[in-house]
Structure 1
C-alpha cells in the first residue's frame, strides 16, 4: 500500500517539475494486466496503454505530448451516450451541444468554436478511425464498441493536419479478430430510456478474413414538459451500426474495410427556456416565465432528423523494414431540423435548417521502424467536401409583430492538399529530438444568396420554410460568389530527456493554423465576409513519470499560447433574431497547467485525479465601435477537475462487487466572446455519478446500476441572446438512474 506521506511527496515533486501529459482513465474492471500481476506477485500494477498519437503504436507514457486516453471499456461501463461526453473526464476540455446527441462544439484549453454554420471547421480536429470529419455536426456519431478515445492537446498540425490549432480527438473502433468474441448490453433507465448494443467478431476464412459487426440503439422520452400542450419534449431515437472486414491478403499486406451508418431523431433533447430581460422578468410583449429545468413553452415544433453513412478502407503494407499505410474514406451527412425560434408560446419566430455534406479523403504514410536511431514518417493527404446548406426563419401571423420571412442558402466546396513529415533522432539513450513539418494548400468556394420579405409576408402553403410558399414579393438582401486559396506551413520541435528509468521531461514548440473561410450567418450585404486564417504558437513543458513499481502514474504540463487573427463566433440579436456570424482579427493569449494522477494504492482500488488550471484573455479585440479586450475565451473555466474511484470487492461465491464514482467540477465559464454579461454565462458547478456493478463468477457477465448527476444539479449547458428583450437558456441533464446487463464472450 502507498504510504500517505510518500504519495504526497510524489505529487509535490511532479508539480514542482512543471511538466507532463494527461493520464489514461482506465476502469478497474478492464485492467487485466493489473489483476494478473496481483495474482502472480501480489503486487498490482497499472496497465500500459497503447496509442497512435504519432501515427505509430507506442505506449502512452512514452509519447512526448499532452494526451489523455479513455479506454473502450470505460466508455461502455460509464454509460457514455454520445461522443461529446468524453470531455467530462478530461481537464481543460469541454464539448457543448445544442441537441442531446448532435451538433457538438469542442474546446480544448480554451480553443474552439461555437459557430453553427455547416461550413465552419473546428480548431479541434475530430477523427474517427484516423479519418478527419470536417462537418462539426457529423462528429456526434454514437460511442459503441470502442477500443479507446485519444485526446491530444495543443497544435497537431504536423501529423494530424490543418485546423487542429486547439488539438485533436481520435475515436478508435475495436477491430475484427480471428477468434470468436464480442459482447451484448441491454439497459433501462429514467424517462423510459432503453439501450441495446453489442458486437460480434469472428473469422470468415481462417487466418485470412475476419468480420466484426457492431450496433447500438438508444431511445428515451423527453426530459421536459411543454406547458403549451402538456406533452413531453425531447424524446429521441438514435440507431447506429458498423461492419468491418479485416483481410490478411498476404504476409505483408493487411486491409480493413469499415462501413457505418446512423439514423437519429430528436424532439429538442436540449430544450431552450426563453425568459425576459426586463426589470419585471418579462419580454417586450409581457410574456414572463421563471426559467426552470424541465419546463418549456413552445407553439412550434422541434424536430431533428439525421442520416449519416460512410466507409473507409485502411491498407497496411509491410515493405521490408518500411510500412506503407493508405486510408481512403467517404462520409455523407444529412440534417433536417425545425425549431421554435423564439421558444415562447407567442408566434414570434420559427426556424428551419437543412445541411447535406459529402467528403472524400485519401491519406498515404510511409514509416520507418520506431526502434531505429533515426526514425521517421512521411505522408500525403487529400481532402474534398461538397456542402449544401439551407436555412429559413419566419413569423406566420401578425398578432405581435408583422409577418416576416427570410431564406439563406449556399453551396460550398473545400479542397486541400498536404505534404507532411516527422522525424525523431536519438542522440543517446537519454536524449532524443523530434521535428515535424507540414505544408497545406486549401481552396474554398461559396455561392450564397439570401432572400427576405419586402413589406409584410404572406404565406400560401403549409410548407412555410420553402420560398415557393411565400406569396408576397421577396428581395435579395445578400449574395456572395467567391473563391479563395490559402496555404501555409505548420511545424513542431520537441526535445525529450530521460531523467531516470521512470521519468522523462520534454519541451514542445508548435505552430499551427486554421484556414480561412466565409461568414455563413449573413443578414445583409454588409455582413458578407471572407475570414482570414488564424495562427497559434504554443510552448509546452511536460513531465511523464511512473512510481512505486508501476502503481502510480504522475504526469503534468504547463503551456503558453500566443493566438493571432482569431476566428470569432460573434452572437447578437439582429432585428430581434439571434444571429451568429464569423469574423476575425482579434489577438489573445492563454496559459495554464494540467496535473493528472492514476494510482492503485490498494490491490482492488483504482483512483484517478486530474486538474486543469487555465487563464485566457483577448488582448486586442474590437468589433465596430465596441472594444471587448480583456474578455475571456469561450468555455474556458479557470479551474476544471476530475476525480474517479473504483473499488473491487471479491465475493466468496465467486465474482465481485465493484463500487465506482466519478466527479467533474468546472468554475465559471462564458458562452460568447462578445457578450459576457451575467445572463450569458454559466456559474461554477460540480456533477457526480455513481455506479454499482455485480460481476458474476467467470467475469464475463456484469449487472450494473448507475445514477448520473447524483445531486440533481441544475446547471446551464448553453444560453442564447434572443430578440424582443429576452434570452434563452438550455439546462443540462437532470438526475437519471439506470440498470444494465453486459455479457462478454
Structure 2
C-alpha cells in the first residue's frame, strides 16, 4: 500500500532535475544553493544539468559515509557492492563487474581528483562540505569514462578561525564510529585542518554457523591533513590522507542449484530460490565430507557457514596540491594528485565449510593525475579551457581454491584457478566548456573534450598449485590457460551542447545533447581466456525545467531524457570463460526516462522532499546469446541490469521548539526501487523483487548548532532486498542490503 501511494504521487510529477537538498550553502533569503558543476560557482537553479546537491548537515544526519547511504537520497541512483567494489548506477548506467581493473561509468571525484577504480571509494567519506551528483554524460569537464554521470565530493577546506567538532555513533550490532576535525590558523594567511575517522566493532549483524560467532564488525582508521595559504590573488591548498581497513565484510548468500541426483532443481527455473534459499543442494549427490553443514544454504540472510569468511586487509594513502592564481580576467587552476591503494581480501563465494571456491584477491594501484585549466568571464561569455593527464599502474593477483570441490569436471588436479596481470593506463585529454548569454534570458552552452587513452596489459590465466606466497599471494602455474601481452589506444571526442532559457528569476528551461565515452580494456578471468573489449559511447538527449513556486517555498525540478548506448560493455557468461563471467561488448541499448523532484518548505521548521523516476530500457541491435541455467538466451529486447521501471525516494522533517535554545527534530525518509534484473539475461532467476527501505530519526538539538543527540533506525521494517546477483556456472552469489539497525548518535562543535 505504501508503494502504491508513492507511485501515484511520483507519477503525478513526471520528470526530474535535482532535489535541492544542500542547506550548508543556501542563502537565508533566496535559498539558492551554490554548486561548482561547471567548475565555477553558480546557483543550482541556473544550470541546465540534472544535479542533486547534498550539504554537510544532511550528510552528517544521514551518516552518509559510504555510497549506499548516499544513493538512498538521490532519485534514479542505486549503489551496488560486489567483492567490496562499491559503484553507483545512475539512470541504469553502472558497473556490474567484480574485476579490479575497470573504471566505473559513473565517476567518483574527491575535491575534483578522479578516483579511477571502484575500490578506491571504500575510503570513508567524512568531514564533507557537500556532494554534487551529476546525471548523464559529463565527459567534457570531469575526469574520464563518465558515460553515466559523476558523483563529486568536496571536503571542508581549512577555515580562517579556530574550531573543532566531533560526531559519535553506536548501534545495536556492537558497531561504533567517531569522526571529527580540528581547525586552526597559523598566521593571517595560513589555515590548517585535521580530520579523522574511526570505525570499530565487536560482533556485527551476521552469524557464522560454522563457528557460532557474530560477524560484520568494522575496523577502519582514516585521517586527513589540509593546509591552505591565501595571498593576494593566489590560493594554495595541500592535502594528505591515509586509510587502513581490516573490517569483516558483509557475507554473500549462495543458494544451491542441484537435486539429489545432480540435475538442476526446479526452484532455480521458477525463481523460488530467492525466497527458499535452502531448497536446493549445493553439490547434488557429491558430498565433500561427513558433515552436512553447508550443503544447503541457510534461509536467513543474517547467517552463513563459510570456512573463509569475507575480510579485508586494505590500505591507502595519497594527497594533492591545488593552486589557484588570479591573472587579470582569468583564474588559473592546477591540481596535482597521487593515490596509492592496496586491496588484499579473502572471501568464500559459495558459502560452505569446504575449500571449494575460496578466493584471494590482491590488487595494488598507483595513480598520478594532473589537471590544468583557465576560467574567465568576458562580457556575456564564460570560458573554460584545460588539459588533463592521468596514469595508473595496477598489479593484480587473484585465485580461487577449488581443492575440495566434488563436482565432476572441476580440477582437483590443479586446485587453484588463478590469474596475474600488470595493467598500465595513460590518459591525455584537452577540454573546453563555454556559456554565451545570447540575451538576458537565453544562453547557449558548448563543451568539447578530446581523450586519448592507452592501456597496456601483461597477463596470465592458469590453473595452479595451492601455494599462494608472498604479499601478493602469487600462485605457481601448473596448466596454462591464456597469456596476453598487448596494448590498445582509444581516442574519441566527447561533447555537450545545451540551451538554457531563464524565463524568470524563478524559472529555468533547458535542453541538451551530450556524449560520453568509456575506453576499451581487457578482461582477465582466473581460469578463463583473456579478452579485449572496445570503447562504449553514450549519447544523451535531455529536456527539463527548474521552478521555484509558492512564494519560493516550493522547488519543482523536472526532466525527460533519451539515451542511445553503443558497444555496451557488460559482464556476462561466455564460452571463452565457462567458470567466471567476463566483460565484453554486447551491442547497444536505448533508454527513455523521466524524473521529478519536489522540495517544499512551507515553514522554517518543516521540510518535505519527494522524487520519482521512470525508466524504459532495452538492449537493442545485439546478436549476443548468453548461456544460462535455462539454456541459451538472446539479449536483444531484454532489460539491462539495474533498470527498475519505477523508483522513488522522499523525506519528511519537522522541528518543534521545546525550550529557549532547544529543538526536537523528527524525520523519516524512504527509498523505493522497483523490480529489476541483476543479470543481463533477464531470466526469472535474474530478477530482484521491488523493495521499500525506511529510516527514522529523532534528535534533540541546540538551536545554535553547538550540539545534537539523536536516536535513529535504519531499515526500520527489516526488509530483505537484493542488491547483487551473479549466476556462476556451478553456484549462485546473492548480496543483500543490511538488516534493521538502530542506535544513538551525538554531535558537538566548539
Give your verdict on TM over 0.5: yes
Residue 467 (structure 1) shift: 5.3
- Which sits farther off after the overlay, 479-488 or 345-354? 345-354
8 Å CA contact 2:298, 2:304 repeated in 1: no
Q: Judging changes above 3 Å, is the alpha-carbon distance between structure 1 residues 411 and 462 closer, same or farther for their aligned structure 2 residues?
A: closer
8 Å CA contact 2:53, 2:132 repeated in 1: yes
- Which sits farther off after the overlay, 691-700 or 420-429? 691-700
Q: Judging changes above 3 Å, is the alpha-carbon distance between structure 1 residues 398 and 83 closer, same or farther for their aligned structure 2 residues?
A: closer
8 Å CA contact 2:254, 2:350 repeated in 1: no
For 1:165-564, what aligned pairs fall within 5 Å after superposition?
Answer: 165-206=147-188, 208-220=189-201, 221-248=203-230, 250-276=231-257, 278-279=265-266, 281-285=280-284, 287-369=295-377, 372-397=379-404, 402=412, 404-453=415-464, 459=466, 466=473, 474-521=478-525, 523-524=527-528, 527-564=529-566
- Alignment of 1:107 with 2:108, yes or no, is no
Q: Judging changes above 3 Å, is the alpha-carbon distance between structure 1 residues 306 and 650 closer, same or farther for their aligned structure 2 residues?
A: same
8 Å CA contact 1:643, 1:664 repeated in 2: yes
8 Å CA contact 1:227, 1:297 repeated in 2: yes
Structure 1, unaligned runs of 5 or more: 1-9, 38-44
- Alignment of 1:733 with 2:733, yes or no, is no
After superposition, give the CA deviation of every residue in 1:512-546 in whole Å (9 maximum; x if it has no partner).
Answer: 2111111122644xx33221111111100010111
Question: How far apart are the structure 1 equivalents of 2:50 and 2:255?
Answer: 40
Alignment correspondent of 1:637: 644
Alignment correspondent of 1:41: none
Alignment correspondent of 2:718: 712
Alignment correspondent of 2:676: 669
User: Of residues 44, 48, 51 in structure 1, which corresponds to 2:32?
Assistant: 48
Q: Judging changes above 3 Å, is the alpha-carbon distance between structure 1 residues 318 and 461 closer, same or farther for their aligned structure 2 residues?
A: closer
- Alignment of 1:78 with 2:82, yes or no, is no
Residue 697 (structure 1) shift: 5.5
After superposition, give the CA deviation of every residue in 1:385-408 in whole Å (9 maximum; x if it has no partner).
Answer: 011000011123466663522220
After superposition, give the CA deviation of every residue in 1:573-628 in whole Å (9 maximum; x if it has no partner).
Answer: 99884x13110041110111110111112331011111111111001333357421
8 Å CA contact 2:243, 2:316 repeated in 1: yes
8 Å CA contact 1:116, 1:580 repeated in 2: no
SS at match of 1:344: coil
User: Of residues 654, 657, 673 in structure 2, which corresponds to 1:647?
Assistant: 654
- Which sits farther off after the overlay, 356-365 or 498-507? 498-507
Question: How far apart are the structure 2 equivalents of 1:85 and 1:573?
Answer: 37
Residue 347 (structure 1) shift: 3.2
8 Å CA contact 2:518, 2:536 repeated in 1: yes
8 Å CA contact 1:347, 1:399 repeated in 2: no
Residue 164 (structure 1) shift: 0.5
Question: How far apart are the structure 2 equivalents of 1:594 and 1:199?
Answer: 37
After superposition, give the CA deviation of every residue in 1:365-393 in whole Å (9 maximum; x if it has no partner).
Answer: 10113x73011100000110011000011
Question: How far apart are the structure 2 equivalents of 1:268 and 1:142?
Answer: 14
Alignment correspondent of 1:744: 749
Alignment correspondent of 2:689: 683
8 Å CA contact 1:392, 1:465 repeated in 2: no
Alignment correspondent of 1:144: 126
Residue 723 (structure 1) shift: 4.4
8 Å CA contact 1:84, 1:140 repeated in 2: no
RMSD: 2.4
User: Of residues 678, 695, 705 in structure 2, which corresponds to 1:699?
Assistant: 705
- Which sits farther off after the overlay, 262-271 or 133-142? 262-271
Residue 92 (structure 1) shift: 1.1
SS at match of 1:24: coil
Question: How far apart are the structure 2 equivalents of 1:285 and 1:342?
Answer: 14
Residue 182 (structure 1) shift: 2.8
Q: Judging changes above 3 Å, is the alpha-carbon distance between structure 1 residues 301 and 269 closer, same or farther for their aligned structure 2 residues?
A: closer
SS at match of 1:276: coil
Q: Judging changes above 3 Å, is the alpha-carbon distance between structure 1 residues 61 and 129 closer, same or farther for their aligned structure 2 residues?
A: same
Alignment correspondent of 1:88: 72
Alignment correspondent of 1:126: 108
Residue 267 (structure 1) shift: 2.2
Question: How far apart are the structure 2 equivalents of 1:243 and 1:203?
Answer: 13
- Which sits farther off after the overlay, 480-489 or 344-353? 344-353
8 Å CA contact 1:276, 1:289 repeated in 2: no
Question: How far apart are the structure 1 equivalents of 2:470 and 2:608?
Answer: 56
Q: Judging changes above 3 Å, is the alpha-carbon distance between structure 1 residues 142 and 341 closer, same or farther for their aligned structure 2 residues?
A: same
Structure 2, unaligned runs of 5 or more: 1-8, 259-264, 267-278, 286-294, 626-631
Question: How far apart are the structure 1 equivalents of 2:374 and 2:82?
Answer: 40
- Which sits farther off after the overlay, 252-261 or 459-468? 459-468
After superposition, give the CA deviation of every residue in 1:702-734 in whole Å (9 maximum; x if it has no partner).
Answer: 00110000101111122222443x323222101
Q: Judging changes above 3 Å, is the alpha-carbon distance between structure 1 residues 311 and 332 closer, same or farther for their aligned structure 2 residues?
A: same
8 Å CA contact 2:197, 2:222 repeated in 1: yes
SS at match of 1:61: helix
8 Å CA contact 1:478, 1:522 repeated in 2: no
Q: Judging changes above 3 Å, is the alpha-carbon distance between structure 1 residues 317 and 288 closer, same or farther for their aligned structure 2 residues?
A: same
Question: How far apart are the structure 2 equivalents of 1:85 and 1:600?
Answer: 23
Question: How far apart are the structure 1 equivalents of 2:106 and 2:532?
Answer: 21
Q: Judging changes above 3 Å, is the alpha-carbon distance between structure 1 residues 285 and 114 closer, same or farther for their aligned structure 2 residues?
A: same
Question: How far apart are the structure 2 equivalents of 1:216 and 1:522?
Answer: 35
SS at match of 1:679: helix
8 Å CA contact 1:224, 1:234 repeated in 2: yes
Question: How far apart are the structure 1 equivalents of 2:495 and 2:472?
Answer: 46
Residue 11 (structure 1) shift: 10
Q: Judging changes above 3 Å, is the alpha-carbon distance between structure 1 residues 631 and 542 closer, same or farther for their aligned structure 2 residues?
A: same
8 Å CA contact 2:606, 2:654 repeated in 1: yes
- Alignment of 1:23 with 2:23, yes or no, is no
Alignment correspondent of 1:158: 140
- Alignment of 1:590 with 2:591, yes or no, is yes
Q: Judging changes above 3 Å, is the alpha-carbon distance between structure 1 residues 14 and 271 closer, same or farther for their aligned structure 2 residues?
A: closer
- Which sits farther off after the overlay, 283-292 or 546-555? 283-292
